[in-house]
Chains A and B, each alone.
Chain A
Amino acid sequence: MNNEPLTINYEPVIGLEVHVELKTKSKMFCSCSADYFGQKPNTHTCPVCLGSPGALPVPNGKAIDWCVMIGLALNCKIANFSKFDRKNYFYPDLPKGYQISQYDQPFCLKGFITLSNGKKIGITRVHMEEDTAKLTHQGENSLIDFNRSGVPLVEIVTEPDFENAKEVIEYLKKLQQIVRYLDVSDADMEKGNMRLEPNISLREITMNNELLTINNLPKYKVEVKNINSFRFAEKAIEYEIRRQTEILSENKTPVQETRGWDEDKQKTVSQRIKEEANDYRYFPEPDIPPIRFTQNQIRQLADQMPELPDAKLARLIKEYNLSKYDAEILTREKEMTDYFEEAVKVGKTFKINPKQIANTVINKKIDMNNILPAELVKNIVNFKKTDDIDENKLQEITDKVIKENQKAINDYKSGKVQVIGFLIGKVKQHFPTADSNQIKTALEKKLK
């Protein structure tokens, strides 16, 4: 298989199913702890999550609220009337023989996420379900750990709106950022609390009398599983696009199937061929009464939600006159924005402007857990003071460092400009609180 650029005759059609595990204290339908990661197997169980005869599910109200919040954050409509359904299928990790999920009346419908290029990715639905137990295979034996059984899971399904892996990755990062802002999931791919299954196919684009015709959705669809990082997702999607293009250009149709990403082989491999859609025999879960939301309840949930990344970004730019680039970095994690804004507040009294604080927070990789925002401001203030007084001293030390590190200086002059970092470090030993940029400028002046 070659890595040549794609032929323009085919356009990728990609949809995404993402599962996000909520970090509620208890499981979805019982009071067992939902914190299963790294726990001793089968210690967080009870008759409900073991599916013992006679046990009944009682829904976790917090999980439902959080699912609705995710829906609101993704611009979805919240259903006034919703219900749980049973999805019937047999698998050893499913103790009841069915999964409690939502079928035709999910909590949230029809939302979107806007990518940085302005394109809107449609969200088909956001629904609530329960996680399955975890199977481990050891030789001939399979072991079942029920600690994960019944952990709340939110499934977010998109329209087939993605055209390339880049869009998918941007969407995923945004989604991850949103659920982390909401503080409802750690959304850690490696721990398995964020899982994704892209559906990939290609459609033909034909040029006819200079008229571009985009055919309808392709007749097949390939689902890719076993993706546990954004990087894998990118590689798997790109691989699939190449693989399917090759098949299509031979006038054949790719098989409708589930494939898995094999990181060792750097390719997707066939797992299961779907001859027809599975029949899950969905029907309304009789053990859980339908759920109704009033407009008032939905409003209350919306009021509880923190400011979301997009809004925060816009506000940071406007309120503090930051560049989009800086604001984007500062809003990547909610904690960083909070830190920045706290420092700005303190900085005001010392007449330190937000831009300066933003630069410090971004460039110096501040240890936010150990340096309080007020301390940071104090350092900036102190630095300003010493800066004025010790200009002569800085010159003196710079000269000394240059003299003592002739090899580095020669390297620098011969084009290895990155050794400047080493020299900055040497100078900094004498000025631990100094701004690296200041030293860099001083050094560069001398080395010209």
Chain B
Amino acid sequence: MKLNELTIKEAKGGLKSKKFSSVELTKACLEQIKKHNKDLNAFITVTEKEALDSARKADDLASQDQVLEAKSLLGIPIALKDLFSTKGIKTTAASNVLKDYIPQYDAAVVKKIKDAGAIIIGKTNCDAWAHGSSGENSDFGPTKNPWDKEYVPGGSSSGSAVSVASDMCIASTGTDTGGSIRLPASFNNVVGLKPTYGRVSRYGIIAMASSLDSIGHFTKTVEDSALFFNVTAGQDKMDATTLPNPVEDFTKDLNKGIKGLKIGIPKEFVTSDLDNEAKEKFEETVKTFANLGAEIIEISLPYTEYGIAAYYIIQPSEVSSNLARYDGIRYGNDRSYFGDEAKRRIMLGTFTLSSGYYDAYYKKAMAVRTLIIKDFNDAFQKVDALISPVCPTLPWKLGEKINDPIKMYMSDVLTVTANLAGIPGLSLPIGFIDGLPVGMQILGPQLSEVKLFQIGYAYEQATQWRKQKPAL
């Protein structure tokens, strides 16, 4: 096995037992990037020099056992979505507006990851400003799906998902405002976590829609996802919306199994709108859960059908305000550099917030949001977690939906409600259809990540879909 194919856990083991060095591990990843990034376009910036410098430092530190214990990502190459501010390293949000912008500070999570000893290997491509479900809205060209380069990898965290799926790094970060981690994870056969809103600091991450943005990550396994979350979760004094709850060891219940757990299937998520093959795949998954001893219960989330409408009012409203600072006075490039999708959302949001329309749109959408929260609260009175497909369709061909924004928006129909409710979701592989990956999401109440990892791990161990790799 090549070093770049390792998981966090495996890489940590190898570094500890001195089977290889961080420099070797980092070089293996850089090698893979050099080989395939041209085709896949997963990275906007590769920080080769900085990465190798950090790797050398990590190797020096690794000689001390206490450091190895304390720094849980010591020497592990990580890629960052290009929305995460990195001091001294270009951070573009995949938009031409910021194509030359170099932040003067690190995002809180970047600091945490660096403090844990991780090697920042580069900044990944995404839909510009995280606006999109396919990765095609990047001003730096679309990222390709490594399972079939004719297909989209899902978005907006396209490059982050692809960089993990194609072993260009060991793990990567992403943001999920309406499904931007869970969807690309499911299109790439990797594990993606959208944490509880406020569990991970948003400080320093270029905002899309502030009340919805969740800061998460992509890994190769569920266990890695929990290990990574151990580093990123927690209250931050720089983000007033972070939760004060103490951080536990998120790996603690991995081996508990799911016997006796109540798993809900939201009937509004599994309808005739779902792609037939995807539906069959999901039904197989439900059977696996039953075989593992879970009690399967059908659940209703009646307000689901209003989710996408509410989301496409609240989100553009916040987007229109968050993008106002790129007014051409600073950052070099003016508003004419915004792409079509950003312009569309700025106009939508400006409209829905305007006086005379605010009550009919924004206020109403916020009322729907409250009802969706109630839907989930009611459901979690009855079940420990919900499982559902991530996307109503399989990955689609590049260009297929680019001129039909509504069709594109509908690909988020199963993911946006979790963002509106602020609950966590874990996306993981459930198999393949015609060689393209399919995923599911496990949703739980706020702060239930330990349980999501427990459930996800049990399923992953029983199926091992993750071991399949794309032929690049």
Residues of A within 8 A of B (CB): 47, 51-59, 86, 88, 90, 92, 95-98, 277, 279, 281-283, 286-289
Please state if A98 and B239 are interface contacts (CB–CB under 8 Å).
no
Q: Is B64 an interface residue (CB 8 A)?
A: no
Q: Can you list, as one digit per residue, whether each of B426-453 has a CB less than 8 Å from chain A (1) or not (0)?
A: 0000000000000000000000000000
A336 to B184, CA, bound (A): 70
Given contacts A53-B101, A90-B324, A97-B327, 16 further A-B contacts (CB under 8 A): A52-B105, A53-B85, A53-B103, A58-B238, A86-B321, A96-B324, A281-B320, A281-B321, A281-B355, A282-B353, A283-B318, A283-B353, A283-B362, A286-B241, A287-B239, A288-B240
Please state if B350 and A281 are interface contacts (CB–CB under 8 Å).
yes
Q: Can you list, as one digit per residue, whether each of B222-242 has a CB less than 8 Å from chain A (1) or not (0)?
A: 000000000000000111110
Residues of chain B lying within 8 A (CB to CB) of residue A52: 85, 103-105
Q: Which of B105, B317, B327 contacts A47 (CB 8 A)?
A: B105
Beyond A52-B103, A283-B353, whether A58 also contacts B91 by CB under 8 A is: no
Q: Is B202 an interface residue (CB 8 A)?
A: yes
9-residue interface stretch from B205-213, B411-419, B455-463: B205-213
Please state if B93 and A286 are interface contacts (CB–CB under 8 Å).
no
Please state if A56 and B107 are interface contacts (CB–CB under 8 Å).
no
Please state if A54 and B325 are interface contacts (CB–CB under 8 Å).
no
A98 to B238, CA, bound (A): 19
Q: Is B75 an interface residue (CB 8 A)?
A: no
Q: Which of B98, B238, B327, B355 contacts A53 (CB 8 A)?
A: B98
A106 to B177, CA, bound (A): 29
Please state if A56 and B239 are interface contacts (CB–CB under 8 Å).
yes
- Residue in chain A with minimal CB distance to B237: A58
Q: Is B354 an interface residue (CB 8 A)?
A: yes
Residues of chain B lying within 8 A (CB to CB) of residue A286: 209-211, 241, 318
Q: Is B140 an interface residue (CB 8 A)?
A: no
Please state if B101 and A283 are interface contacts (CB–CB under 8 Å).
no
Q: Is B43 an interface residue (CB 8 A)?
A: no
Q: Which of B91, B205, B324, B353 contacts A97 (CB 8 A)?
A: B324
A279 to B327, CA, bound (A): 18
A92 to B104, CA, bound (A): 21
Please state if A47 and B104 are interface contacts (CB–CB under 8 Å).
yes
Q: Which of A56, A86, A283 contacts B358 (CB 8 A)?
A: A283
- Residue in chain A with minimal CB distance to B209: A286
A88 to B211, CA, bound (A): 17
- Residue in chain A with minimal CB distance to B239: A56
Cβ-closest 7 pairs across A and B: A97-B324, A286-B211, A281-B353, A286-B210, A54-B204, A53-B206, A97-B325
Residues of chain A lying within 8 A (CB to CB) of residue B85: 52-54
Q: Is B406 an interface residue (CB 8 A)?
A: no
- Residue in chain B with minimal CB distance to A92: B329
Q: Is B187 an interface residue (CB 8 A)?
A: no
17 interchain pairs (CB within 8 A)? Answer: A47-B104, A54-B83, A54-B85, A54-B107, A54-B204, A55-B105, A56-B202, A59-B240, A92-B329, A95-B330, A98-B321, A281-B320, A282-B358, A283-B353, A287-B239, A287-B240, A289-B240
Nearest chain B CB to A139's CB is how many angstroms away?
18
Residues of B within 8 A of A (CB): 83-85, 91, 93, 98, 101, 103-105, 107, 202-207, 209-211, 237-241, 317-318, 320-321, 323-325, 327, 329-330, 350, 353-355, 358, 362
Residues of chain A lying within 8 A (CB to CB) of residue B324: 88, 90, 96-98
Nearest chain A CB to B87's CB is how many angstroms away?
10
Q: Which of A56, A92, A282, A289 contacts B238 (CB 8 A)?
A: A56
Q: Pick the most buried of A58, A86, A88, A281: most chain B CB atoms within 10 A of its CB.
A: A281
Residues of chain A lying within 8 A (CB to CB) of residue B321: 86, 88, 97-98, 281, 283
Residues of chain B lying within 8 A (CB to CB) of residue A283: 317-318, 321, 353, 358, 362
Nearest chain A CB to B374's CB is how many angstroms away?
19
Q: Which of A95, A281, A288 contacts B325 (CB 8 A)?
A: A95
Residues of chain B lying within 8 A (CB to CB) of residue A54: 83-85, 103, 107, 202-207
Residues of chain A lying within 8 A (CB to CB) of residue B107: 54
A436 to B405, CA, bound (A): 88
A288 to B91, CA, bound (A): 25
A96 to B327, CA, bound (A): 9
A281 to B358, CA, bound (A): 8
Residues of chain B lying within 8 A (CB to CB) of residue A277: 355
Nearest chain B CB to A326's CB is how many angstroms away?
49
- Residue in chain B with minimal CB distance to A88: B321
Please state if B317 and A53 are interface contacts (CB–CB under 8 Å).
no
- Residue in chain B with minimal CB distance to A279: B355
A90 to B329, CA, bound (A): 11
A58 to B237, CA, bound (A): 8
A255 to B103, CA, bound (A): 47
- Residue in chain B with minimal CB distance to A285: B210
A289 to B101, CA, bound (A): 30
Please state if A289 and B241 are interface contacts (CB–CB under 8 Å).
yes
Beyond A56-B240, A97-B321, A289-B241, whether A279 also contacts B101 by CB under 8 A is: no
Please state if B93 and A53 are interface contacts (CB–CB under 8 Å).
yes
Residues of chain B lying within 8 A (CB to CB) of residue A47: 103-105, 204
A57 to B317, CA, bound (A): 19
Nearest chain A CB to B176's CB is how many angstroms away?
16
Nearest chain B CB to A229's CB is how many angstroms away?
32
Q: Pick the most buried of B98, B103, B240, B320: most chain A CB atoms within 10 A of its CB.
A: B240
Please state if B240 and A58 are interface contacts (CB–CB under 8 Å).
yes
Nearest chain B CB to A289's CB is how many angstroms away?
6
Residues of chain A lying within 8 A (CB to CB) of residue B330: 95
Q: Which of B206, B209, B211, B325 contacts A96 (CB 8 A)?
A: B325
Residues of chain A lying within 8 A (CB to CB) of residue B350: 281
Nearest chain A CB to B94's CB is how many angstroms away?
13
Nearest chain B CB to A280's CB is how many angstroms away?
8
A95 to B241, CA, bound (A): 21
Residues of chain A lying within 8 A (CB to CB) of residue B98: 53
Q: Pick the most buried of B237, B329, B350, B358: most chain A CB atoms within 10 A of its CB.
A: B329
Nearest chain B CB to A231's CB is how many angstroms away?
36
A47 to B207, CA, bound (A): 14
A57 to B350, CA, bound (A): 22
A123 to B84, CA, bound (A): 45
Nearest chain A CB to B12's CB is how many angstroms away?
29
Residues of chain A lying within 8 A (CB to CB) of residue B237: 58
Nearest chain B CB to A225's CB is how many angstroms away?
23
Residues of chain B lying within 8 A (CB to CB) of residue A86: 321
Residues of chain A lying within 8 A (CB to CB) of residue B205: 54
A258 to B209, CA, bound (A): 35
A281 to B203, CA, bound (A): 24
Beyond A56-B239, A88-B321, A97-B327, whether A281 also contacts B206 by CB under 8 A is: no
A179 to B203, CA, bound (A): 34
Residues of chain A lying within 8 A (CB to CB) of residue B238: 56, 58
Nearest chain A CB to B317's CB is how many angstroms away?
6
Q: Pick the most buried of A96, A286, A288, A289: most chain B CB atoms within 10 A of its CB.
A: A286
Please state if A281 and B204 are interface contacts (CB–CB under 8 Å).
no
A96 to B353, CA, bound (A): 17
A394 to B355, CA, bound (A): 80
Nearest chain A CB to B308's CB is how many angstroms away?
19
Nearest chain A CB to B139's CB is how many angstroms away?
15
A47 to B325, CA, bound (A): 13
